Amino acid sequence: MNFNSLFGSGIALGVVANLAAVVAASIAIGVIGRLIVRRIVSRIVRRTPYKWDELMYRRGIFSSAMRFVPPLLIFLSLPVVLADTPVLHEPLRRITTVWMIAVGIRILSAIGSFIDDLYRVESEEMARHRPIKGYVQLAKIFIYVVGMVLMVTTLIGVSPLGILGGLGALSAVLLLVFRDAILGFVSAVQLSANHMVSIGDWIEVPKYGADGPVIDITLQTIKVRNWDMTITSLPSYVLISDSFKNWRGIYEAGGRRIKRSINLDVRSVCFCTPEMIERFRRMPLIAEYMERKLTEIGRESTDEDMTVGRHLTNLGTFRAYALAYMNQHPGVQQNLIQMVRQLQPGPHGLPLEIYCFTRETAWIGHEAVQSDMFDHLLAVLPEFYLRAYQQPSGWDLRELSGFAGPPGRIQHPTESRRP
């Protein structure tokens, strides 16, 4: 624009100088105001016991609000500065309005993040099960879309209703572009309403290689930290359209399952001899069981040669011992199922399955309790004249060939009791 031809050189230079002075002063006031407000607010936040003001400070809501000052001052000063040049007033007014809209979008976005932070801090347990991050992100998308429409319509000087009405013709394109966002929003609503997954839940989605705790739930994605510390990002709608396993029930029930078998050599199973019975009766864990079974079997057994009828076996006695051991173990959850059962015998011997739940639901603690239990049960097998089944190893073959082993080999104290 040729200011000299329109207003004369004096007027043009004066308008430019006044406008530049107003813009510079407004920006300086905004910068100084942000520094002052930031320093004052930081001191107040450190002294107050509340959390909400600290969260607002971290999200920069106060400093973002001060960014609204420069365009507002310029907007209010335009009628005075451009009183003699009305032709410049309208375009500059539109520019400053767009500036204020952009700052307003930033402030509203920061407020949305603050609401999510405050919800997670004040209602930690509820936020873990019912996060609102997806809803906050949806609100931000709406704010950005409306803000961009307002900015464009303000610049070109048309009504925003006309632009919004024209968007109806592009609905098919918008649905295609925002397909994942729409599916993610619907899925997020269903996941939250049905309480299907929460932050911290351990989920397993084999199809996508995800196996670990959920660390973040957003409008479009769910992030899972896997065993090897890699992170898998899943679309939210995957958990609705495909099946997945959630291990949350372990923690809610207060017990983690042990379901493991000891393979026994079938040839080591036998009837209990009088010497074996006397030995078992001296074991505190099964002393009561032995007396009860001996009384019960004594009434029913009529054969003294131990060939037919009901008799005690070393395997049945060991099952009773294993169950009694679980009943008194401090790491076993006593109010959940406890069972010792035989499975179908096969080429690898007779599986004796231990089924119970540990009090410790964390993986490391659970494995420690499980290992402690099976350490004991495997070590106590020879006391019941039982052998664990194991395929022949190189050492077994060397013994069969007549090689006794290196000099000074010490015999295990329980080997003499093995049948």
Q: Residues 327-374: pLDDT tens digits?
A: 999 999 999 999 999 999 999 999 999 999 999 888 889 999 999 999
Q: Please report the pLDDT score of residue 28 as a whole number.
A: 87
DSSP string, 130-172: S--HHHHHHHHHHHHHHHHHHHHHHHHT--HHHHHHHGGGGHH
Which listed CATH number (2.30.30.60, 3.20.20.70, 2.40.170.20, 3.30.70.3290) goes with 191-246?
A: 2.30.30.60
pLDDT digits (tens, 9 = 90+) for 291-312: 999 888 875 554 455 555 678 8
| End-to-end CA, the chain | 110
Q: Please report the pLDDT score of residue 318 as a whole number.
A: 96
Would you call 102 exposed, middle or buried from its count of C-beta atoms within 10 A (0-12, 13-18, 19+)? middle
pLDDT exceeds cutoff 50 at 417: no
Q: Please report the pLDDT score of residue 313 as a whole number.
A: 92
pLDDT exceeds cutoff 90 at 45: no
Q: pTM of the predicted model, to two decimals?
A: 0.53
Q: Please report the pLDDT score of residue 315 as a whole number.
A: 95
CA distances from 212 to 209, 232, 235, 356 (A): 10, 9, 16, 23
Q: State the sign of the Cα–Cα–Cα–Cα dihedral 257, 262, 266, 268.
A: negative
- Could you tell me the strand order of the sheet in which 202-205 lies? 231-235, 221-225, 210-217, 202-205, 245-246
Domain boundaries, the chain: 3-177, 191-246, 254-300+310-401+411-417
pLDDT exceeds cutoff 90 at 236: no
CA 348, CA 346: separation in Å to the nearest integer? Answer: 5
State mean pLDDT over 141-153. 83
Main-chain phi, psi angles of 392, to 5 degrees:
-55, 130
Tell me the residue type at 264. Answer: L
Q: Are strands 256-264 and 350-358 parallel, antiparallel or unpaired?
A: antiparallel
315: number of Cβ within 10 Å: 20
Q: Which helix (H) or strand (E) holds 49?
A: none
Q: Please report the pLDDT score of residue 206 as a whole number.
A: 86
CA 366, CA 189: separation in Å to the nearest integer? Answer: 34
Per-residue tokens: 272? 């209990």
Q: Please report the pLDDT score of residue 237 as a whole number.
A: 81
The region that residue 359 occupies, defined by phi over 0 for left and psi between -120 and 50 for alpha, beta otherwise, is alpha
Q: Please report the pLDDT score of residue 135 as a whole number.
A: 77
CA 47, CA 357: separation in Å to the nearest integer? Answer: 48
State mean pLDDT over 112-128. 79
Q: Please report the pLDDT score of residue 249 as a whole number.
A: 80
Q: Please report the pLDDT score of residue 419 as a whole number.
A: 45
pLDDT exceeds cutoff 70 at 173: no
Main-chain phi, psi angles of 242, to 5 degrees:
-115, 165
> Which of 229, 213, 256 has its CA nearest to residue 364?
256
Main-chain phi, psi angles of 327, to 5 degrees:
-65, -25
> Which of 260, 220, 262, 255 has its CA nearest to residue 239?
220
> Which of 241, 119, 138 has its CA nearest to residue 191?
241
